[in-house]
Amino acid sequence: MRNRKEGDIVICTEKPKQCEQLFNDLVQIIKKDRKSHFFGSIVTSSANKGGKSDYLVIDGQQRITTISILFTAMVNLMKSGLVEADDKRLAEKIEKKFLVDEYQTEDRKTAWNRKPERV
């Protein structure tokens, strides 16, 4: 990874070595035009709550968080016009496919996009 400078956005929530590996993996995916990539295992457990089925993430939280932050940053940059994609609907596609579960209730669907509440 290159040296950071003031104004850089740091999105990796993992240790520097894992962050560098993630960055290098993403570069190779783009260079080799790969359609998929194995980022590692994610272990979940079903948690039934009154007829609703949620999943608890046992292992892989940092990977999920890092990729979610990356996708959110990409969507925000495209929506603000600071980054332009060849596919004009890419921001919408990323948001709908990876960030929002369209079948959830409205309050859960938009929870990731809310401003933090003050304590």
CB under 8 Å to 50, separation ≥6 — which residues? none
Per-residue pLDDT reduced to its tens digit, 26-84: 888 878 888 888 878 889 888 776 666 677 888 888 888 888 888 898 899 999 999 89
Q: Provide mean pLDDT across the span 103-114.
A: 60
Single out the residue of 61, 66, 53, 58 nearest to residue 104, CA to CA. 53
Confidence category of residue 12, pLDDT binned at 50, 70, 90 = low
Single out the residue of 63, 53, 81, 71 nearest to residue 21, CA to CA. 63
SS3 at position 15: coil
Confidence category of residue 3, pLDDT binned at 50, 70, 90 = low
pLDDT: is 105 or 96 the higher one? 96
pLDDT exceeds 70 at position 11: no
**pLDDT for 81:** 92
Strand partners, 56: 45
Quick one: tokens of 34?
């790969």
Tell me how long the chain is.
Answer: 119
Give a three-class secondary structure readout of 45-70. EEEEECCEEEEEEEECHHHHHHHHHH
Decide if 72 contacts 99 (C-beta within 8 A).
yes
